[in-house]
Structure 1
C-alpha cells in the first residue's frame, strides 16, 4: 500500500482544514498513486514555490483590492443570507445587482467600474478558498452588470467621480510660478515637472531613489521600478525643455543640489529617496510615500489656482492627452508612460477637450 505524504497546508485554528488545503491534499494523494511518494512530495514543493512566486509578484495594491472586495462580498452575503463559500450564477448576479442598488456602506450603489472590480476580485477570493466558479456563471454576472449599467445611463444616472483631470502645460506654468523659493518649492516643482514627463503614478516618485534618476547629456533617465507590468518597469528618458522655466531636468538637478547644500552631503548618496518629505519648518522627514505624493500634487495645484485640482493620477493622464494633442506617436507615448502599446487605459487618457476641434467628422465635407 502506497503511503500518502502529509498535507502541506496546516489546519485552521479550529482544527478544520480549509477547502483549498483539502483540494491540495487530494491532488498530492493522486500524484502519490501515479508517481510514488517521493515524486508527489517534489511536486508539492513545486506547488509551494509557485504559490510563493505568485505572492512575490502580486503588487500590494492588488492584494489590498482583493481584501477590500472580499469584505464587500461577505457584507453582501450577510445582508442577503447567502453562504459565503458559494459562487453560483444566481449568487453572482444577485451580488452585482446589490452592488449597483445599495452596496456601499452608506446605502448608495457603486459605480459600475467599482462593481466590476469587486466582482472580479470576489471570484478570485472564492477560488482561493476552494470554491469552483464557472467561467459561464461569471460571464453571465458580468453581462448582467453591463446591462444594468446601461439602464442607469439611460435613466440619466451617472456614478463615480469620473476620470481625474489631466495635467496640462498651462497648469504646469501656473505651478512653476507659484512655487516659493524654498527647498519645498524646489521639490514641488521637480516632482510635478518630472512626473508629467514620464506619466508618473503616485507610487512612482515615492519609490525612486536618487540613484534611479541619472543625468545624461540629453536629459534625465528615470528608472521606474514600481510598475505592475513588464511595460511599466522602464527607463524613461526626459529631455531638456526648450523653455527653461518648464524644464524638468533643470528643476530636478536644482532641487537635489539645494537638498544637499541645506541638509548635508549624506543626501548625495544614491540610496537616499529621490523625493523627500519636508515639514512646515523645512525639516526633511524622510522619503515620500504614495499618499504624500497624491496630497502634494493636490496641494501644489490648489496653491497655483488650477481650476480643477489635480490628483495623483493627473500627471499620468496629462502626458497621454497633451502628447496626443501635439501629434506625438501613440507608441512613443506608450513607451514613455509605461503602457502596453495600444493600451485601452492609455487611449482613454487621450482626452478630447470638448469634441469640437478634435472631432472625427471635422473638415470631411
Structure 2
C-alpha cells in the first residue's frame, strides 16, 4: 500500500520495519506535517518532496550516476565474497572492503589501484546511505586510514598500479597528427576532433556531448559552447582563433570536416541538433554521435597512427593546452579550459613542464 499523508495521519499504515530507512524518515515527516498543518497541506508538502527528489535525479551528471552504480556492484561483489550482509556497514566491514579491493577486488582477481579503491569506497558509502544504512564518519575514516596505509606499502613491495599520468599533447604532436590523417571523412573527422579539442582543453566527454549548434563560426574563428562541471552544470564559450599555420588550424579543420560530412551523407547532419562529432565505421557509414569511450579510443588510435612517442589518452588534449599555453606565457588559461582559477589539477599540468624548464640540476656540468 502506498503511504500517503492522509493514511499516515489517520494511523492506518504501519511504519516500515527499518526505523532509520529513508521511507521511514519520510513517513515520520509526513505525520508531523499532518499534525501541524492538516492532511491536505501534508499531502501537498509530500508532493513537493517527490518533485525535489525527481529534480535531484535529473540534474545529477550521468557519469556520477555511472560511478555510483559501478561502485555499488563492487560492494556487492565484496559482500558476496566475504559472506557479509550487503545492507550493513561497520568499521570492520569497511576496512575489510578496502583491503579486499587492494588485494583482489577486480573481476580478474587483481587488486585495484589506490585511487580507484578510494573512489569505490566513497561511492559505496553514498549507496549505503541512500539505502538507509547508517555509516558513521569514524567508521569511514578508519577505512580511509587503512586504505592510505596499505597504499603506501604497495610501492615498498615493488608494486605499481594505475595507468600513471597521461602524456600531454603538444604542437609537434598536432603537426604529426594532421599529416597522418588520410583524405577521407574519417581522416577529416579525426583532424577536427584533435585540433579543436586541444584548443578548448577537451575531456573525452566534451566532444561526445557537443551538438552541431554548439559550434558556431565567428569572423575570428570558432566559438564552442562546452557543457562543463561534474557537480554543477554550466556552459563555457571557448573561443578558438584561426591558426597562423593552415595545416594545424582547428577552424579550417572543423569547416572541412563538416562540409564533407554534409556533402557525403546529406544535409541532416548539418542540423543544429545533430551530433558535432560522428562515429564512422570501416566502410565509411555514419553510425551516430560519438560517446566518451569512442572519443578516447579515437584519440589513442590517432596518436599511434601519427607516431607520437607516447600514445595519447582522452585527457591528453586537456593536459596539453594547459602545458603549452603556460610555456607560451598565455593568460586566461583557466577560462579557456573551464578550470577554477587556482585549480590544483591545472597547476599540476603546468608544473610538469616547470620541473624541466626551471630545473635546479640543469646545465650544472
Please say if 1:346 is aligned against 2:346. Answer: yes
Alignment of 1:171-190 (within 5 A): 171-190=173-192
Please state how far the C-alpha of 1:189 moved relative to its aligned partner. Answer: 0.6
Structure 1, residues 22-50: CA drift from partner, whole Å, max 9, x if none? 23212222332343323322222222122
Alignment of 1:201-220 (within 5 A): 201-220=203-222
Corresponding position of 1:152: 154
- Report the more deviating stretch, 180-189 or 192-201: 180-189
- Report the more deviating stretch, 33-42 or 167-176: 33-42
Instruction: Determine if contact 1:203/1:289 at 8 Å carries over to the other structure.
Output: yes
Please state how far the C-alpha of 1:361 moved relative to its aligned partner. Answer: 8.2
Please say if 1:5 is aligned against 2:19. Answer: no
Please say if 1:337 is aligned against 2:337. Answer: yes
Corresponding position of 2:317: 315
Alignment of 1:62-81 (within 5 A): 62-81=64-83
Structure 1, residues 122-178: CA drift from partner, whole Å, max 9, x if none? 000000000111223222221221222122233332211112222111111100011
Structure 1, residues 150-209: CA drift from partner, whole Å, max 9, x if none? 222333322111122221111111000111122221111111000011111222112212
Please state how far the C-alpha of 1:103 moved relative to its aligned partner. Answer: 1.5
Please say if 1:43 is aligned against 2:45. Answer: yes
Structure 1, residues 300-356: CA drift from partner, whole Å, max 9, x if none? 111111122222222122212222233334xx2221112222222323333525944
Secondary structure of residue in 1 paired with 2:279: strand
Instruction: Determine if contact 1:66/1:121 at 8 Å carries over to the other structure.
Output: yes
Please say if 1:121 is aligned against 2:123. Answer: yes
Instruction: Determine if contact 2:64/2:230 at 8 Å carries over to the other structure.
Output: no
Q: Give the whole-Å Cα distance in 1 for the aligned partners of 2:170 and 2:233.
A: 24
Q: Give the whole-Å Cα distance in 2 for the aligned partners of 1:229 and 1:360.
A: 40
Q: Give the whole-Å Cα distance in 2 for the aligned partners of 1:341 and 1:181.
A: 40
Q: Give the whole-Å Cα distance in 2 for the aligned partners of 1:170 and 1:200.
A: 18
Secondary structure of residue in 2 paired with 1:280: coil
Corresponding position of 1:298: 300
Structure 1, residues 197-243: CA drift from partner, whole Å, max 9, x if none? 11112221122121110111221000112643547631111111122
- Report the more deviating stretch, 66-75 or 338-347: 338-347
Distance 1:74 1:360, change over 3 A: farther
Q: Give the whole-Å Cα distance in 1 for the aligned partners of 2:99 and 2:80.
A: 15
Please state how far the C-alpha of 1:4 moved relative to its aligned partner. Answer: 5.1
Corresponding position of 1:87: 89
Corresponding position of 1:33: 35
Secondary structure of residue in 2 paired with 1:341: coil
Corresponding position of 1:10: none
- Report the more deviating stretch, 350-359 or 211-220: 350-359
- Report the more deviating stretch, 114-123 or 154-163: 154-163
Please state how far the C-alpha of 1:53 moved relative to its aligned partner. Answer: 1.3
Extract structure 1 runs of 4+ deviating beyond 4 A: 15-18, 229-232, 360-363
Corresponding position of 2:279: 277
Q: Give the whole-Å Cα distance in 1 for the aligned partners of 2:36 and 2:89.
A: 32
Q: Give the whole-Å Cα distance in 2 for the aligned partners of 1:280 and 1:292.
A: 14
TM-score when normalising by structure 1: 0.88
Q: Give the whole-Å Cα distance in 2 for the aligned partners of 1:107 and 1:205.
A: 34
Structure 1, residues 37-77: CA drift from partner, whole Å, max 9, x if none? 23322222222122111111111121111111111111111
Secondary structure of residue in 1 paired with 2:313: coil
Q: Give the whole-Å Cα distance in 2 for the aligned partners of 1:288 and 1:267.
A: 13
Please state how far the C-alpha of 1:98 moved relative to its aligned partner. Answer: 1.7
Q: Give the whole-Å Cα distance in 2 for the aligned partners of 1:131 and 1:97.
A: 21
Instruction: Determine if contact 1:23/1:130 at 8 Å carries over to the other structure.
Output: no
Instruction: Determine if contact 1:193/1:247 at 8 Å carries over to the other structure.
Output: yes
Structure 1, residues 87-127: CA drift from partner, whole Å, max 9, x if none? 22222122112211222222222111001100100000000
Q: Give the whole-Å Cα distance in 1 for the aligned partners of 2:255 and 2:158.
A: 50
Number of aligned residue pairs: 353
Q: Give the whole-Å Cα distance in 2 for the aligned partners of 1:6 and 1:248.
A: 63
Over the residues paired in the alignment, what is the CA RMSD in angstroms?
2.6
Instruction: Determine if contact 1:32/1:40 at 8 Å carries over to the other structure.
Output: yes
Instruction: Determine if contact 1:166/1:310 at 8 Å carries over to the other structure.
Output: yes
